[in-house]
Amino acid sequence: MRFEKLPTSIDDQITLLRERGMHFQDELHAKRCLDSIGYYRLSAYWLPSELIPENGETRSKKFCAGTNFDTIFDLYVFDRKLRLLILEAIERIEIHVRSRWTYHMAHNFGAHAHLNYKLFTGGLNHAEQLVRLARSVESSKETFVLHYKKKYDDPFSPPLWVATELMTLGELSKWFKATKANSIKSRVGAELGLPSKEIAEGVMESLSYVRNICAHHGRLWNRKLVKRPPWIRRYKNDLQMESGQQRNQPENTIYNIIVVILHILGKQNTDSTFSARLIELLEGEGSKSIYQSMGFPLDWRSRPVFHLSSSIIESGVRVADGVHLA
C-alpha cells in the first residue's frame, strides 16, 4: 500500500481530535502545544486514552469518554520531567564508571591500555572502536584534546583518561564488557554496589539504552524496555519480576530501572537529592494509572528503597540540585 496521507494544519488537527472524542478546555493553548510539540509526538501520550480497537484493527482512533487535551498535555509534561531526572541520575553513574574503569585500567596496564587489543575480547571489534575513537579525536575541539595533539604525535590516541571522555555511554559500555580483566570489572561493579561483573555489564547496557531514550526526548513513562536490568538478588524486595515462564527476570518497565538507579546512587553516598525529587514528582503529578503504566507495584511507597527515600524527604531535604521541575 502506498502512503498518500497529506499533512494537516493545526486547525484541522484540532477538528480531527474533537471528532474522535477529545475535549478542549482551552483551544488556544491546545493549538500552541500542537504547534510547539507536534501532533505526532503528542499522539504517543493520548494513545492509552483510545478505545480498544475491534475487528482486528490496530487502533480505534476514538477516545474514551472524558478524554481531555489538558490531561494529555499534563502527562507529556510529567514524562519530560521524569526524563530529566533519570538523565541526571544516569549521568552521575556514567561519570563514576568512566572514572573508576579508567583508573583501574590505566594503573594496571598503562596510560594507553585501550590500544592493546590483547586486553579485550573479540566481541568489542577492537579495530572498529579505535577507528571511532580516532574520528572523535580528530574532530574534537576540546582543550584537553587539542593540547595533546599539539604536544604529542605518538601515539595518535591520547591516554585512556582523555580517550574515555570522548566515548558515549554506549561505547563505554562496550569497552567495559569486553575488558578481559574480570577483577577490574568486578571491582568497578562492587563500587556501585553490584555483586558481579555480569550484573555490572547488564546494568550498564540497560542504563545506556534508557539514557539514549532520555537524550533523544523519547516517551519513557510507559515504554516496554528492550534492555531490562538483570536480576539482582539483593534488590529482590524492590524489583518487580515477570510472571509465568519469565518469572526469573525483572519486568521491562521503567520502575525497575528506577530501583537500580536508587540503589546505586545510595551506594555512591553522594549528596544527591534525586530520590527526594523523584518521589516529589510522583506524588505531586502522578496518578494510579501512571504508576501502573510505569510498572510500579501497588505497595511501592513501602518498598525498602522508597521507604528510605521517604525518610530523607521527611527530614527536610529539599535542595534542588541540578534539575528544576518547574
* 179 and 225 housed in the same domain: yes
Asked if residue 278 belongs to a domain, the reply is: no
Question: Do residues 299 and 268 touch, judged by C-beta distance below 8 A?
Answer: no
Q: How far apart are alpha carbons 10 and 35 in whole angstroms?
A: 7
Give me the residues of the chain with pLDDT under 70, please: 244-247, 269-272, 286-287, 308-326
Residue 194 lies in domain: 85-271
The domain tally of the chain equals 2
Question: Do residues 203 and 86 touch, judged by C-beta distance below 8 A?
Answer: no
User: 23: which strand partners?
Assistant: 68
| Per-residue pLDDT at 316 | 46
Question: Do residues 222 and 82 touch, judged by C-beta distance below 8 A?
Answer: no
Q: How far apart are alpha carbons 96 and 90 in whole angstroms?
A: 10
Residue 263, burial from CB neighbour count under 10 angstroms (0-12, 13-18, 19+): buried
* 100 and 231 housed in the same domain: yes
* 93 and 242 housed in the same domain: yes
Domain boundary among 225, 252, 271: 271
Asked if residue 261 belongs to a domain, the reply is: yes
* 54 and 92 housed in the same domain: no
317: helix, coil or strand? coil
184: helix, coil or strand? helix
Question: Do residues 323 and 85 touch, judged by C-beta distance below 8 A?
Answer: yes
Reference 83, options 285, 218, 229, 244; nearest CA is 218
* 105 and 63 housed in the same domain: no
Q: How far apart are alpha carbons 193 and 174 in whole angstroms?
A: 20
Q: How far apart are alpha carbons 250 and 87 in whole angstroms?
A: 21
| Per-residue pLDDT at 325 | 37
| Per-residue pLDDT at 309 | 56
Domain boundary among 246, 271, 296: 271
* 161 and 207 housed in the same domain: yes
Question: Do residues 31 and 83 touch, judged by C-beta distance below 8 A?
Answer: no
